[in-house]
Structure 1
Amino acid sequence: MNPSLSPKAFCKHPGNPSRYHLGIIWTNGLPCSTSITITSIVLTPSSGTPVSFEGLAPVSVGANSNVVRTYDSEETPNSANGTVRVQYTYTTCDSPPVTVAALVPLTASTLPPCQQYRIPDYGEPGHP
């Protein structure tokens, strides 16, 4: 199981308060379907307090395929660049299935405003 940033989907919704927007590609290289349980997604900005993300519903990914999911952070007064850490578990194809826990850092070279990627602001029509 290998999460990665979705191109042009790690950005910030500026304002007061601000939110971060994150697209994750969940890639399953296993020969069976798996279910991912996201324990936490936390962004640690270069300034300010760490920010958690909302809407962490389980994700099902078919064998040898990928799924893209988007997440928005809780409200924050901060909109600085930072690093995201994704903590999750998934099940293997073993019989019986084994649950594997992982913690993955995801970084991007920049964290631009979401409008640059044509992603509507949080709460606007068309926001993913």
Structure 2
Amino acid sequence: MDLNYYDTLIAVADDCPVDGAVVPAPRAGKRTVAVVQFEMIDADPGGLTQEDVLFGSWLNRQEPQPPAAEWVELRERFFATPQACLRSSPLPKKYGWGLLFDEAGRVRLCPMDSAEYRDIVTGEVTGVKILKALRSRRA
């Protein structure tokens, strides 16, 4: 089953608390989900799929780190149960980062205060489906 998005922008949530993209910081000395996901996507823009980011961010937070030889089996077990998609990621919910997927399902960061983001959400760029990130609070 393919859980990836194609030609899609996950736009920031309606209740996103920032006016521009903010790089997430560790909290209490620990790397949060937002930090891990930001670092993964920023280090390899257009190189990872949603599935890669979801599994990688889970894997990066495991203590102790499982051996690489087990990753294929762990990934299969991870996706055997339902997983929240990147619409629930803190990046578009709290930090002002749109997540832009290309035709191959590869994701890169798209800051909400960029011209590219604005052009996509206003419809000046066509061929990109827009999905809003999930709200943090009920309307």
With the shorter chain as reference, the TM-score category is under 0.3
Larger helix fraction of residues: 2
What TM-score results when the alignment is normalised by the length of structure 2? 0.26
Q: TM (normalized to structure 1)?
A: 0.27
The structure whose residues are more often strand, as a share, is 1
The answer to which structure, 1 or 2, has the higher relative contact order (CA under 8 A, 6+ apart) is 2
